[in-house]
Amino acid sequence: MAQLILARHHESEWNKLGKWTGLRDRHLTPYGFEKSAEMGRAIAGIRIDKAFASMKVRAIETLASMLDETDRFDVPTEHAAALNERDYGDYTGKDKWQMHEILGENEWNRLRREWDYPVPNGETLKDVYNRAVPYYKEHIVSELARGNNVLVVAHGNSLRALVKYIERISDADIAHVEFPFGGIYIYETDANGYMLAKREILVPSEVHA
* Contact criterion met (CB below 8 Å) for 90 and 123: no
Tell me, yes or no, if 79 is annotated catalytic.
Answer: no
Of the listed 9, 61, 123, 155, which one is catalytic?
9
CB-based contacts of 86, cutoff 8 Å, min separation 6:
22, 119, 122, 123, 124, 125, 127, 128, 155, 157, 158
Query: In what helix (H) or strand (E) does residue 78 lie, and over which residues does it extend?
Result: strand 77-79
Rounded CA separation 174/169 (Å): 6
**Catalytic status, residue 85:** yes
- Which of the residues 10, 11, 61, 85 is marked catalytic? 85
The residues annotated with a catalytic role in the active site are 9, 85
